[in-house]
């Protein structure tokens, strides 16, 4: 790959896309392409085809998706399955028809069965039922993985899928109705701290185990996949380390400086009991995460604090 290769990053303004853009620029890549959703609706097939015909990207990174936490997935199942399939189908098929040789498809660890053995290995895909609270998003992402695998098998093109664990970092979504657990905690603890260290109520029992990856490490995994032809079609991206949601809350509470009480609302769903990624395939190839959890949360909270009036909120 040349430094002036035309690289299209779908979703370049999002948390993951912006991190990928930043790292590619830092590494000397000079021909990056991205359009905001207001200018290019990726759900519209004709718009995507016209964009590819005009820009003629050589490499495509699909970091665009409708995303959200348990509440958003549960309340808007149709949008989560249909809009994600529209976005990825338009990008994947148009990339194939336009002669794109390298395509990186980003998904999520929710593609794996709810009760799959731990840690999650890539070959566990489609071996059992999904977690019902986010199956709509998961089914869409599985379809994208299989489309890229089919292109790889039938046409020999370098279409590869990277499945990150729970991501967090600057430019995350901190809307309490649609965000994931870690950014939601950051906002809740911050607002409680400035409100006389008010009590913070968190969903579930606090017992589920989760793994978290700082977004810049995910971006570096994408760049690693750009600079190398990976031999398989699917790779997990994570730290290989997890902790309970209860311990996560304690870290976020410490970082934000909140000293009040925490209440766990056990009537709310926990989701999957444990989700730990087996990242041995990527480790063997040479990629490994660099930012540990406490450091990453501190960086994220610092960013949140400086952007308190402008942080991203997704409205469904």
Please state the three-class secondary structure of 89-138 as a single string: HHHHHHHHHCCCCEEEEECCHHHCCCCCCCCECHHHCCCCCCCHHHHHHH
- The pTM score is 0.92
Q: What is the largest CA-CA distance in the chain?
A: 61
Is it true that the peptide bond before 119 is cis, omega within 30 degrees of 0? yes
Is 210 labelled as part of a ligand binding site? Answer: yes
- Is residue 89 predicted with pLDDT exceeding 80? yes
pLDDT single digits (tens) 246-265? 999 999 999 999 999 999 99
Is 240 labelled as part of a ligand binding site? Answer: no
The contacts of residue 274 (CB under 8 Å, 6+ apart) are: 118, 208, 209, 242
Is 128 labelled as part of a ligand binding site? Answer: no
- pLDDT band for position 22 (50/70/90)? very high
Nearest residue to 234 (alpha-carbon basis) of 58, 112, 94, 83? 112
Is 164 labelled as part of a ligand binding site? Answer: yes
Query: Which domains are seen in the chain, by residue range?
Result: 7-306 (3.40.50.720)
- Is residue 117 predicted with pLDDT exceeding 60? yes
Please identify which of the residues 112, 137, 214, 235 carries the catalytic annotation.
137
Name the β-bridge partners of 265. Answer: 203
Q: Any idea what DSSP says for residue 277?
A: B
- Is residue 268 predicted with pLDDT exceeding 60? yes
Q: What tokens appear for 256 in the block?
A: 């934000």
- 78 among known catalytic residues: no
pLDDT single digits (tens) 27-79? 999 999 999 999 999 999 999 999 999 999 999 999 999 877 677 777 889 99
Rounded Cα–Cα distance for residues 214 and 163 (Å): 14
Least confident among 44-48, 176-180, 190-194, 228-232: 176-180
Instruction: Please state, rounded to an integer, the average pLDDT across all residues of the chain.
Output: 94
| Backbone dihedral angles phi then psi of residue 253, each to the nearest 5 degrees | -60, -45
């Amino acid at each position: 790959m040349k430094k002036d290769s035309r690289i299209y990053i779908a979703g370049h303004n999002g948390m993951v896309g912006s991190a990928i853009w930043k790292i590619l620029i830092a590494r000397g890549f000079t021909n990056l392409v991205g359009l905001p959703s207001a200018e290019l609706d990726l759900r519209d097939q004709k718009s995507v085809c016209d964009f590819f015909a005009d820009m003629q990207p050589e490499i495509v990174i699909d970091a665009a998706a409708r995303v959200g936490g348990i509440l958003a997935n549960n309340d808007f199942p149709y949008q989560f399955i249909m809009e994600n399939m529209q976005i990825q189908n338009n990008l994947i098929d148009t990339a194939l028809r336009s002669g794109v040789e390298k395509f990186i498809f980003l998904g999520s660890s929710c593609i794996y069965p709810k009760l799959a053995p731990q840690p999650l290995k890539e070959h566990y895909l489609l071996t059992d039922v999904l977690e019902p609270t986010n199956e709509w998003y998961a089914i869409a992402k599985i379809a994208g993985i299989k489309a890229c695998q089919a292109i790889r098998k039938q046409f020999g093109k370098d279409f590869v899928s990277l499945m990150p664990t729970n991501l967090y970092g600057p430019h995350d979504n901190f809307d309490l109705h649609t965000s994931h657990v870690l950014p939601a905690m950051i906002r809740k603890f911050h607002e409680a701290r400035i409100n006389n260290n008010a009590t913070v109520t968190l969903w579930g029992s606090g017992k589920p185990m989760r793994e978290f990856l700082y977004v810049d490490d995910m971006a570096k995994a994408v760049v690693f996949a750009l600079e190398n032809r990976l031999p398989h079609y699917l790779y997990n991206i994570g730290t290989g380390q997890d902790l309970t949601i209860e311990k996560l809350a304690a870290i976020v509470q410490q970082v934000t400086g909140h000293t009040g009480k925490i209440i766990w609302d056990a009537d709310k769903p926990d989701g999957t009991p444990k989700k730990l990624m087996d990242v041995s395939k990527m480790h063997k190839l040479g990629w490994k995460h660099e930012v540990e959890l406490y450091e990453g949360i501190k960086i994220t909270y610092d960013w949140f604090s400086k952007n308190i009036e402008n942080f991203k909120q997704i409205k469904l």
